[in-house]
Structure 1
Amino acid sequence: MSHAVIVAHGQPSDPAPAEAALAAFAREIGALCQRASVRSATLAAPNALEQCLDNLPDTTAIYPLFMARGWFVTSALPKRIGNRPVTILEPLGTDPNLPALVAAALHQALADRQWRASKTDLVIAAHGSGRSANPAVVANGFANALGRLTSFNSIRTGFVEQPPSIADAATNCGEQALCLPFFACTGGHVLEDVPQELTRASFSGHVMPVISELPQVERHIAATLDAI
């Protein structure tokens, strides 16, 4: 049996709820795995990652549930791991398979509603950053890759922390529209900021689950961990 730890950012001001939500997600992924034992830890919960790794073998793999290879993945995570000889896998958001997996989920959502892609607008709601260009580069690159795999009437990307805003991106969408939250976890941004922005835009379409909770992506994460 192989071992893996799914690591997410968490909520520093109140670590417990995010820690519990990530643990529930890890159990879902673990149930899809054939040979991997899956655990979880958020960086926001003090010593959670260290205590988890102390009880696992050196062959353990870390799965970063992040949408970009930013500071948390390249600096904070390795620092918390220390000298433990574990393997850090590719973050969810930069997985080269992600656009095709999400395209399949979007096509299923269209089929469920008997919508044609060419008559449907897609809004990608992403985090962005006022300090680093990297999150927007990843989100826009994902949107471009998705555009090559789909035939939506339009694909618009908006951000929580930089322009264009999600409200700007979602304005003037018709009723036949999908919103894809380009987030790794269902946290405060997804539960509060995204709905508020969509309300500002009078968006009346369908909001998809966050990227990690799409069934196609969950199965892919499980397969990735099984292949360790």
Structure 2
Amino acid sequence: MTHAVIVAHGQPSDPAPAEAALVAFAREVDELCQRVSVSSATLAAPQALENCLDGLTSDTVIYPLFMARGWFVTSALPKRIGQRSVTILDPMGIDPELPALITAAIHQELTNRVWSAADTDLVIAAHGSGRSANPAIVAKGFAENLGRLSAFNSIRTGFVEQTPSIADAATGCGGKALCLPFFACTGGHVLEDVPEELARASFHGHVMPVISELPQVKRHIAAMLDTL
């Protein structure tokens, strides 16, 4: 049986809660898999990744639960892996199937609320970066792909760490509005920064779960891992 390790950033200031949350997420994905055994580790938890990999075989694959192929995926992760013989897959955020999966999740939410996409403002709340253009490029490209798949009243993208802010993006939304947190995991930004920014904008719409928590995405991750 092939082994897969889902790796996320975690919370350096308090590693345990994020580590436990990722364990629960990996368990859900594992239950959806038929051929692959799924475990997890955050980079923030000391030696968690190394200890996990040391107990697995050389056919192990690593699935980065990240939104972009940035420094953590291309530099920090390989450094932590060292000389171990494993395969690193593409991060979740650049999966070419992601826009269609998220569009399906959004339309399910619209159906539940008896809203139409044409009457709905969609706010994509993303991380961004003051050091690299790559995270914003990924988020903006994702927004453009969503726009090609469904005709919303508007699609607005705002960031935690660069302009435009999430508050700026969310300002002026109508009563029918959704916010999609374009984050891999539910961490401090999603629990604190995003709600604060939406409050600043007087946003009264519905906030959806982070990308990885959407059922369509969980099933997709499991199906993808099962084909390895």
Q: Shared fold (TM-score greater than 0.5)?
A: yes
What's the RMSD between the two structures over aligned residues? 0.5
Moved >4 Å (runs of 4+): none
Which amino acid in the other structure matches residue 65 of structure 2?
A: L
Equivalent in the alignment of 1:201? 201
Aligned counterpart, 1:119? 119
Shift of residue 116 of structure 1? 0.6
Q: Which residue of 1 aligns with 2:38?
A: 38
Q: Is 1:175 matched with 2:161?
A: no
Q: Given the alignment of the two structures, is residue 83 of structure 1 paired with residue 93 of structure 2, yes or no?
A: no
> What whole-Å deviation, never above 9, does each CA across 1:15-58 have from its counterpart, x for those lacking one?
11110010010001111111111000000111100000000000
SS in 1 for 2:75: helix
SS in 2 for 1:11: coil
Equivalent position amino acid for 2:193 in 1: D
What are the equivalent positions in structure 2 for 1:1-228 lying under 5 Å apart?
1-228=1-228
Give the Cα separation in 2 of the matches to 1:110 and 1:20: 31
CA–CA separation in structure 2 for the residues paired with 1:193 and 1:46 = 26
Q: CA deviation at 1:85?
A: 1.2
2:211 alignment partner AA? I
Instruction: Find the aligned partners of 1:78 and 1:101 in 2 and give their Cα distance.
Output: 29
TM-score (norm 2): 0.99
Instruction: State the number of aligned residues.
Output: 228
Deviation at 1:225, TM superposition (A): 1.0
Taking only the aligned residue pairs, the percentage that are identical comes to: 79
1:61 alignment partner AA: V
Any idea what the Cα deviations from partners look like across 1:92-117, whole Å, max 9, x if unmatched?
Answer: 00000000000000110100101010
Distance 1:200 1:223 in 2: 39
Q: Tell me the SS of whatever aligns to 1:40.
A: strand
Given residue 11 of structure 2, which amino acid in structure 1 is its aligned partner?
Q
- Note the C-alpha offset of 1:175: 1.0
Instruction: Give the TM-score, by structure 1 length.
Output: 0.99
User: Secondary structure of 1:173's partner?
Assistant: coil
CA distance in 1, matches of 2:88, 2:146: 26
SS at match of 1:67: coil
Structure 1 unpaired stretches of 5+: none
Question: What is the rounded CA distance, in whole Å, between the counterparts of 2:190 and 2:168 in structure 1?
Answer: 17
**Equivalent AA in structure 1 for residue 119 of structure 2:** K
Gaps spanning 5+ residues in structure 2: where?
A: none
1:2, distance to aligned residue in structure 2 (A): 1.4
**What is the CA distance between 1:126 and its match in structure 2?**
0.1
Q: Distance in 2 between matches of 1:126 and 1:197?
A: 12
